[in-house]
Amino acid sequence: MNAPLHLWLIPLLPFAGFLLNGILGGRLPRPLVTAIGLLAPLGAFAVALNPARSLVGLGSGLPPLPYAETLPHPWISAGSLHVDFSIVLDQLSLVMLLVVTGVGFLIHLYSAGYMHGDAGYARYFSYLNLFLFFMTTLVLAGNILLMFVGWEGVGLASYLLIGFWYQKTSAADAGKKAFIVNRIGDFGFLIGIFLLLGNFGTLTFSEIAGKLAAQPAWTGGILTAICLCLLVGATGKSAQLPLYVWLPDAMEGPTPVSALIHAATMVTAGVYMIARLHFLFDRSPYALSIVAIVGAATAFFAATMGLMQNDIKRVLAYSTISQLGYMFLACGVAAYSAAIFHLMTHAFFKALLFLAAGSVIHAMGGEQDMRKMGGLRTKLPVTFWTMTAAVFAIGGFFPFAGFFSKDAILYAAFLQGANGKILWFVGLVTALITAIYMFRLWYMTFFGEMRSHDAHPHESPASMLIPLVILGALSVCGGWIGIERIGDYLAPATGALREQPAGSHLELWLSILAVLIAAEGWLIADKYYRRKPQRPAQLAASVPGLYNLIANKYYVDEIYSALFVRPLLAFSKYVLGWIVDIGILGGAAWLLGGTATFAGAILQRWQSGNLRSYAAWLALGAAAVLIFALILAGHAPGHAALLFTHFDGARN
Amino acid sequence: MHLILFLIFAAICLAGAINLLVQTHPINSALSLIVVMISLAVLYLMLGAEFLAAAQIIVYSGAVMVLFVFVVMLLNAGREERTLGSKAARRVGLPAVVAVMAVLATLILRAQGLGATTLDPELIPTAELSRVLFHELLLPFEVTSVLLLIAILGAVALARVEGSSVDDAERTAK
Amino acid sequence: MYAQNVPLSWYLLLSAALFCLGIVGFLIKRNLITVFMSIELMLNAVNLSFVAFAHQWHMVKGQIFVFFVMMVAAAEAAVGLAIIIAVFRARSTLAVDRIDLMKL
């Protein structure tokens, strides 16, 4: 007998947490707020664990996947458009859910320690739960409209959390930037939804897949357009070129927020969406190649920018953008399960990196500039060892998690053909740069002499360390499940991975090459940042133009500001503000009022109180009536007869 | 005969009316109005309304106009001054009056079946008039008398001086 | 030429002329009492027209109407003159243009 899975609890528990902490949180004691805030993701994780029993062979009594629950009352039923509140659990969403709620719970736990003294504690947890509500809605959605609700909602939660310390202007500005850039992407997403509706008549994933399966020859054309529009949305949400500019600024938010939203979960929504709609993207090789190119280019450029940053969180932000580029690359070569695998391992080690960075920042009393750090290895041992695990994982060293997932992506890219080999090469170079900047971060933070004289670093409390340890363990062994098993498991949901040529050791050689490249990166970082720390400055001085270009992030923010932001602001202020608002609208209102006043001033003189003028107007009125009666008598004698009754010789 | 009488007394009417407009002192205007009323009484007589002719002289010129003259005397109304005046009265009113006159004249001259009046020996006798008045229209007659009573009361109340010497005399007597 | 009978229309024309002269008087006279007298002139003109029609159509009711008009005009004259006296006492002037409080 198949027991119901109660999937509705997964979004609902966080939503309840949001409401409780949001409305009552200010009046509840801190421990209660924490309990409410932590129970939500824990409960959602527990509900998600139930169907996950099948992963470890305990899946008796579970309904088969894909499993859908729909609310009986329809959401939209207008003409031919019919949309329901339906949530669907399949292999893809189950994996995503476990990542989101599991890592989410660990980060919630960490936040309890990190945000301990903050005045907006309850508000923080309510926002976090709100985010989790929308994210789970996005993951579980059975149709693209409900997914869009979650999509927008996580953008909102991101805005609220980035600008959490809203008294800081930079934080408020960063929140606005994130939301606005997301909105630009969402515009593309919306166009994609409209095109989907127009061409398929339905927004439910299973129905769209069914319609596509019924027409195997339908490729390219409008499907490419739809995919590109959806890709625009994905680039906005997942911070790819050209809409990545919000993610580095989003580091203004609290570090756990950066870990949760801007590393592990929200930014991966774009990848998830593409994997979810793989049946659509598979029909458009052109769109897929665009996805791959965008991913590879973003990975490379972000990695170069991460190399020159001095703020520890900014390095990690560019690293996130770069790793997301890898995931897009994987989707672009139709290796969707590889992308999801990398999403999962990336969630582990990137969250760990951020949380550990938060621990470092906490220890340094709020200092984020790596140039002022150093030698923290001995003072923060737990932080050091867990972060080391994460650094090795992101570098792609065997046997850490990142090795398996990144390797799968590069291998799938290599198999793609001539273009694929170019993409593979770009990915390889990016891996080199990734290793360099991650080890640079590692060395600058933990090795050498402490370069700041006011810091008194101390290890973080247990509530912050426990998630670090758990994530560290996952970063080590998270990839051991292997791409084959992940690929087979996800195949019903995301399509099968390309089969490798039988009996070939290509994959083995490629992975050895990748590890060697990563080790080379380590050595470079070791040379420049540990043994000869003065060399980087000399190198930068020798190529000042290139150095300035990359250090200033290719001036992309400035270009956007000049091309889009300032003209838009000027247009708003001068055209819309002065001409339309003050001139047209204000003028119209002034005109109405002015007309009334003017007419009143004229008519007022009529009431002079002068008896004779009143009499004159009376006489005029009487004359008018008489003339009217005369005309009436001329043209309509019958009516006139009413006025002039004619008694003919009637004797009284 | 009829015609000549009509012409004479119509001329007197019009002359009196115009004189009313032309004179500046109100007493002269009042006297012109009396002339108009008396000539109208003659016209009534020619139209066979003997009672009305008598009533016109007794009531109108004998009572109402005397009232006017008394008020002119009481208020010591003098010649009219040149006041600022009303431009509207000239510009709007006079053309309106001309229009009214034109319309009325057109209507009267165009009307058919009016016929001619006759100097009938058969006047409407007063007995006929009073019979209708006291039989069919008794209620309006009585109401009119009440109206006159109210008018008297109203006139007395309006024209009374507050704190007149009569009240003072009564108070000092007590 | 020496028609013995006066056409009814002449009486009516005379009545109309007196009426219009009354209106003119109302418009151009500046003394309040004289304005009132013009009103009386208008009433008399109307009376003439009633009597003329009563004669033509042999209707007694026309003459009775004139009777009532006379009564009401008398009452109105009494009250109106009393009002004029009250106004004179309040404003110390009989000039029509100075009595202009009937406005907003």
Disruptive mutation site among C2, C13, C15, C20 for chain B (greatest number of B CBs within 10 Å): C20
Q: Which stretches within A396-482 are classed as H helix?
A: 401-414, 418-446, 462-477
> Which tokens is A349 given?
């080690």
Q: What pTM did the predictor assign?
A: 0.71
For A130-174, give the secondary structure using H, E and C. HHHHHHHHHHHECEHHHHHHHHHHHHHHHHHHHCCCCCCHHHHHH
Given B79, B99, B116, the domain boundary residue is: B79
pLDDT at B86: 66
Which residue on chain A is closest to B114 by alpha carbon? A648
- Rounded to an integer, the average pLDDT of A556-576 is 85
- Put simply, the answer to whether C27 touches A649 (Cβ < 8 Å) is no
- Put simply, the answer to whether B117 touches C89 (Cβ < 8 Å) is no
pLDDT band at B76 (very low <50, low <70, confident <90, very high): confident
In this model, does residue A602 exceed pLDDT 50? yes
Residue B106 falls inside a structural domain:
no
- Put simply, the answer to whether C31 touches B85 (Cβ < 8 Å) is no
Disruptive mutation site among B92, B117, B129, B136 for chain C (greatest number of C CBs within 10 Å): B117
A155-185 per-position pLDDT tens digit: 999 999 999 998 889 899 999 999 999 999 9
B43-58 per-position pLDDT tens digit: 999 888 889 999 999 9
Residue B96 falls inside a structural domain:
no
- Cβ contacts of B103 on chain A, cutoff 8 Å: 623, 626-627, 629-630
- Put simply, the answer to whether C5 touches B3 (Cβ < 8 Å) is yes
A416-425 per-position pLDDT tens digit: 777 888 888 9
Tell me how close the Cα of A596 comes to any Cα of chain B, in angstroms. 24
Tell me how close the Cα of C101 comes to any Cα of chain A, in angstroms. 6
- Put simply, the answer to whether B60 touches C28 (Cβ < 8 Å) is no
A600 interface with C at CB cutoff 8 Å: no
- Put simply, the answer to whether B118 touches C24 (Cβ < 8 Å) is no
C44-72 per-position pLDDT tens digit: 999 999 999 998 888 888 899 999 999 99
DSSP run (H or E) holding A247: helix A246-249
pLDDT at A650: 43
Q: What is the CATH number of the domain that holds B37?
A: 1.20.120.1200
Which position has the token pair 């009316």? B17
- Cβ contacts of A626 on chain B, cutoff 8 Å: 99-100, 103-104
C69-88 per-position pLDDT tens digit: 999 999 999 999 999 999 89
Residue B105 falls inside a structural domain:
no
Which residue on chain C is closest to A647 by alpha carbon? C57
- Cβ contacts of A615 on chain C, cutoff 8 Å: 26-27
- Rounded to an integer, the average pLDDT of A199-216 is 85
Rounded to an integer, what is the distance from CA A575 to the centroid of its chain? 32
B15-47 per-position pLDDT tens digit: 999 999 999 899 999 999 999 999 999 999 988
In this model, does residue A639 exceed pLDDT 60? no
In this model, does residue A202 exceed pLDDT 90? no
Domain count, chain B: 2
Helices A611-635 & B94-110, crossing angle to 10 degrees? 30
> Which tokens is A651 given?
């004797």
- Cβ contacts of A607 on chain C, cutoff 8 Å: 103-104
- Rounded to an integer, the average pLDDT of A115-137 is 90
Cβ burial of A2 (10 Å; 0-12, 13-18, 19+) is exposed
A2 interface with C at CB cutoff 8 Å: no
In this model, does residue C12 exceed pLDDT 90? yes
One domain for residues B11 and B69: yes
Which residue on chain A is closest to B95 by alpha carbon? A620
Nearest to C96 among A608, A611, A650 (CB): A611
pLDDT at B164: 55
- Put simply, the answer to whether B107 touches A622 (Cβ < 8 Å) is no
- Put simply, the answer to whether C33 touches B3 (Cβ < 8 Å) is no
- Put simply, the answer to whether A649 touches C35 (Cβ < 8 Å) is no
Looking at domain C8-98, does it have CATH number 1.20.950.20?
no
> Which tokens is B21 given?
């407009």
A249-301 per-position pLDDT tens digit: 888 889 999 898 877 788 889 999 999 998 888 888 889 989 999 999 999 99
Disruptive mutation site among A620, A631, A644 for chain B (greatest number of B CBs within 10 Å): A620
Given B79, B107, B136, the domain boundary residue is: B79
DSSP B162: T
pLDDT band at C95 (very low <50, low <70, confident <90, very high): confident
C5 versus C102: the higher-pLDDT residue is C5
Which residue on chain B is closest to A620 by alpha carbon? B96
Rounded to an integer, what is the distance from CA C96 to the centroid of its chain? 18
pLDDT at B60: 92
User: Cα A113–A117–A118 angle (5° rounding)?
Assistant: 105
Tell me how close the Cα of A636 comes to any Cα of chain C, in angstroms. 23
- Put simply, the answer to whether A615 touches C27 (Cβ < 8 Å) is yes
- Cβ contacts of A610 on chain C, cutoff 8 Å: 96-97, 100
CA pair distance A478, A95, nearest whole angstrom: 13
Tell me how close the Cα of B57 comes to any Cα of chain C, in angstroms. 11
In this model, does residue A557 exceed pLDDT 90? no
Instruction: For chain C, give every domain's residue range.
Output: 8-98
- Put simply, the answer to whether C58 touches A651 (Cβ < 8 Å) is yes
Neighbours of chain C (3+ CB pairs under 8 A): A, B
- Cβ contacts of B152 on chain C, cutoff 8 Å: 78
pLDDT at A570: 87
| Segments forming the whole domain that contains residue B51 | 1-79
3-state secondary structure of C40: helix
Tell me how close the Cα of A592 comes to any Cα of chain B, in angstroms. 30
Disruptive mutation site among C15, C71, C87 for chain B (greatest number of B CBs within 10 Å): C71
A64-112 per-position pLDDT tens digit: 777 888 887 888 888 878 888 888 888 888 889 999 999 999 999 999 8
Taking phi over 0 as left and psi of -120 to 50 as alpha, with beta for the rest, C90 belongs to alpha
B154-171 per-position pLDDT tens digit: 999 988 877 655 555 555
